[in-house]
């Protein structure tokens, strides 16, 4: 870790307070909730009581850093909490899942329907010899069967490992092998941008030299012809037709593994993040209810795939444990046209919409024409996750999607944290565009210097978590040393997030980006977020990514890759214009040495900008592994067009 902590340059003065109308109906209206969170053990104990336990826990927390155990000896089942407990009253006929397919097909499953399908599929898994503790791999598009499969695994105590449907067969093979799945669940294919993704073909390729798998269950979805190996490949619908409808939930220990989820972040080897049952469910259900201000009548849409942690925590487990109506959409935001998301919101009267900054910046690039044509008045709350949201993108989202009235919850968290950690509570928090505001009650985040001491307000440093929290990951699958080495080696017992952040004079947190991406100009350390946000603040810019490349005098020179809004013509002097804009916004120190215009940035499949690839391009290096890039043609075109 470098000597100095981070500069804090961006001055964002805009504040958006919740309207009285919103505050008065909010789930959380009393700021004393933060005081209650100070005693985090009793706070989380209270929250855990909202779940249905088969037998109560004996001790709240056992903390032997880096290993935490929560609600020790408590017994519960995640699928019971997401389904069975809603069947005792009218909720049994409430819509649990609303599915919209890319082709315009749709399906609604009530809690009762979902329960029936999950029980049947749990029996299918059992009939194939899957037992408690056996990991099952799920490689499906965003269709109801994906959620049925996850909950069926949870029902019988088989940890699931969901592999995002956009990953290649190599990735799938490695994951199946690492967890030694006996059963893999896939589909004939998935729909994306009007085309099909050959999931079954990928699965066949992945499993050709894997010997742990006994069966592949195939959901018929695109109806394309696929090869079915007798006795090995089984059609989902045929197995379901034979399956009994009753399947009692397996009583699981609070600490039993609910799932393994592989994440590679923006660098490095994928690691299998292991999550527990009791602590995880407590964390995701509480945060979901309070942060999204959940009411019975809400239609909640988190437009993220179940292949990511956001899909696990805030499409499946949090919302269903809370008895919410969850919308899922299989396809892309631009099929058959760029107004598709807004049409879906209007069609189902979505009231809560949760998405990523990368999606918001794309909408901004396309312009307000598409949402403006549609009635979005059903929306009452918006959310953002996955990357720092640039203030201008926040303001755009607020104005054009939220009609200037919906609060935006900018939620910071990680695959490892399992649940949202930094966030507004929308009825009581004043919002500042670009800041994920303050820690959720009962979690202890700080910004520290290299000695682990808190930096003063107004300054930047390393974002850390000082105390355990219930949804924290329990391990890295098959690699506990990695857990200690990566997250806990810097300061004893303190979790290092890998992010840099500053807090402002009010104690609001501003995440500045990954510390690996920090740019060091003349000994001053700049987070990427502030310079990028200064660029996105320019009225013609939609998206920007900044990197530091070697410079003989300054240590590093700052290179910015900029995507303009659609229809903007490049004019001579535009680059200088943008450089001056950055100087005006945040100071001469952050003046980019070079600006490179592009139409796309390289991103992960979950939409995060891959700055280290941009750095390699700008330094003229050969680019190593590009398997984590969603679209490698973007890298090729950047490489061939880059002028130095």
**Which chain residues interact with ligand PRX by CB under 6 A?**
263, 265, 309-310, 385-388, 410-415, 436, 497-499, 511, 514, 606
Task: For residues 433 and 439, give the distance between their C-alpha atoms in angstroms, rounded to a whole number.
Answer: 16
DSSP state of 249: P
Q: What are phi and psi of 71, to 5 degrees?
A: 60, 60
Nearer to ligand PRX among residue 325 and residue 414 (C-beta)? 414
Nearer to ligand PRX among residue 150 and residue 529 (C-beta)? 529
Nearer to ligand PRX among residue 264 and residue 378 (C-beta)? 264
In whole angstroms, the minimum distance from the beta carbon of 17 to ligand PRX comes to: 20
Nearer to ligand PRX among residue 186 and residue 606 (C-beta)? 606
In whole angstroms, the minimum distance from the beta carbon of 177 to ligand PRX comes to: 23
In whole angstroms, the minimum distance from the beta carbon of 54 to ligand PRX comes to: 30
Task: For residues 570 and 568, give the distance between their C-alpha atoms in angstroms, rounded to a whole number.
Answer: 6
Nearer to ligand PRX among residue 257 and residue 310 (C-beta)? 310
Task: For residues 99 and 301, give the distance between their C-alpha atoms in angstroms, rounded to a whole number.
Answer: 10
H helix intervals, 17-161: 20-25, 33-36, 40-48, 78-82, 111-127, 144-156
Nearer to ligand PRX among residue 215 and residue 429 (C-beta)? 429
In whole angstroms, the minimum distance from the beta carbon of 499 to ligand PRX comes to: 5
Task: Of 372, 371, 394, give the one whose Cα is nearest residue 382.
Answer: 394
DSSP reduced 3-state for 416: coil
For residues 149 and 185, the answer to whether their CB atoms sit within 8 Å is yes
Identify the helix (H) or strand (E) that includes residue 501.
Answer: strand 495-503
For residues 181 and 163, the answer to whether their CB atoms sit within 8 Å is no
DSSP reduced 3-state for 123: helix
Nearer to ligand PRX among residue 455 and residue 471 (C-beta)? 471
Task: For residues 148 and 242, give the distance between their C-alpha atoms in angstroms, rounded to a whole number.
Answer: 17
In whole angstroms, the minimum distance from the beta carbon of 410 to ligand PRX comes to: 5
Q: Which position's Cβ is nearest ligand PRX?
A: 415
DSSP state of 375: -
**Beta bridge mates, 299:** 325
Task: Of 207, 98, 208, give the one whose Cα is nearest residue 142.
Answer: 98
In whole angstroms, the minimum distance from the beta carbon of 604 to ligand PRX comes to: 8
H helix intervals, 340-468: 340-348, 357-366, 369-372, 391-396
In whole angstroms, the minimum distance from the beta carbon of 602 to ligand PRX comes to: 16
In whole angstroms, the minimum distance from the beta carbon of 564 to ligand PRX comes to: 23
Nearer to ligand PRX among residue 282 and residue 287 (C-beta)? 287
Q: What are phi and psi of 206, to 5 degrees?
A: -65, -40
In whole angstroms, the minimum distance from the beta carbon of 356 to ligand PRX comes to: 8
Task: For residues 26 and 427, give the distance between their C-alpha atoms in angstroms, rounded to a whole number.
Answer: 5
Task: For residues 590 and 334, give the distance between their C-alpha atoms in angstroms, rounded to a whole number.
Answer: 35
Nearer to ligand PRX among residue 255 and residue 410 (C-beta)? 410
């Amino acid at each position: 870790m470098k000597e100095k902590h981070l500069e804090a340059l961006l001055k964002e003065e805009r504040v958006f307070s919740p309207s009285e109308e919103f505050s008065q109906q909010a789930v959380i209206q009393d700021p004393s909730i933060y005081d209650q969170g100070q005693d985090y053990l009793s706070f989380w104990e209270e929250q855990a009581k909202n779940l249905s336990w088969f037998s109560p826990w004996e001790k709240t927390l056992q903390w032997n850093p880096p290993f935490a155990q929560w609600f020790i000896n408590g017994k519960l089942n995640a699928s019971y909490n997401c389904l069975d407990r809603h069947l005792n009253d009218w909720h049994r006929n409430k819509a649990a899942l609303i599915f919209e397919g890319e082709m315009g097909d749709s399906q609604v499953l009530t809690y009762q329907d979902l329960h029936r399908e999950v029980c049947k599929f749990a029996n299918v898994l059992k009939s194939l010899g899957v037992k408690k503790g056996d990991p099952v791999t799920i490689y499906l598009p965003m269709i109801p069967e994906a959620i049925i499969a996850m909950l069926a695994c949870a029902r019988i105590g088989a940890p699931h490992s969901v592999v995002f449907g956009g990953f290649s067969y190599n990735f799938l093979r490695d994951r199946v092998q690492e967890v030694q799945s006996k059963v893999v669940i896939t589909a004939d294919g998935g729909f994306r941008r009007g085309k099909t993704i050959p999931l079954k073909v990928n699965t066949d390729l992945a499993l050709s030299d894997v010997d742990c798998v006994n069966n592949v269950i195939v959901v018929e979805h695109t109806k394309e012809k696929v090869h079915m190996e007798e006795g090995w490949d089984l059609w989902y619908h045929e197995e379901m037709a034979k399956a009994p409808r009753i399947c009692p939930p397996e009583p699981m220990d609070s600490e039993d593994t609910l799932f393994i989820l592989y994440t590679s972040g923006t660098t490095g080897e994928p690691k299998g993040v292991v999550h527990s049952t009791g602590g995880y469910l407590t964390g995701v259900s509480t945060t979901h209810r309070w942060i999204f201000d959940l009411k019975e009548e809400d239609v909640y849409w988190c437009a993220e795939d179940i292949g990511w942690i956001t899909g696990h925590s805030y499409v499946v487990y949090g919302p269903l444990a809370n008895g919410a109506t969850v919308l899922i959409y299989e396809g892309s935001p631009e099929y058959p046209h760029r107004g598709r998301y807004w049409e879906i919101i209007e069609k189902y009267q979505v009231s809560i919409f949760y998405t990523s900054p990368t999606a918001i910046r794309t909408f901004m690039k396309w312009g307000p024409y598409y949402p403006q044509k549609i009635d979005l008045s059903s929306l009452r709350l918006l959310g953002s996750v996955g990357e720092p949201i640039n203030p201008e993108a926040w303001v755009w989202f607020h104005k054009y999607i939220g009609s200037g009235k919906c609060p935006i919850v900018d939620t910071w968290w990680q695959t490892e944290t399992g649940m949202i950690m930094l966030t507004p509570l929308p009825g009581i928090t004043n919002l500042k565009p670009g800041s994920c505001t303050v820690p959720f009650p009962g979690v202890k985040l700080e910004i520290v210097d290299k000695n682990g001491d808190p930096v003063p307000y107004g300054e930047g440093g390393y974002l850390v978590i000082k105390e355990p929290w219930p949804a924290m990951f329990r391990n890295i699958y098959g690699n506990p040393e990695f857990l200690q080495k990566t997250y806990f080696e810097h300061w004893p017992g303190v979790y290092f997030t890998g992010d840099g952040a500053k807090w402002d004079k009010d104690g609001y947190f501003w995440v500045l980006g990954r510390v690996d991406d920090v740019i060091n100009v003349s000994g001053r350390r700049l987070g990427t977020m502030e310079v990028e946000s200064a660029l996105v603040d320019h009225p013609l810019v939609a998206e920007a990514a900044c990197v530091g490349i070697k410079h003989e005098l300054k240590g590093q020179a700052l290179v910015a890759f900029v995507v303009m809004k659609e229809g903007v013509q490049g004019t001579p002097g535009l680059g200088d214009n943008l450089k001056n804009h950055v100087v005006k916004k945040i100071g001469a120190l952050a003046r980019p040495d070079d600006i490179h215009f592009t139409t796309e940035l390289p991103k992960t499949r979950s939409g995060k900008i891959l700055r280290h690839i941009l750095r390699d391009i700008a330094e003229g290096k050969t680019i190593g592994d590009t398997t984590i890039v969603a679209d490698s043609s973007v890298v090729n075109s950047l490489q061939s067009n880059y002028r130095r």
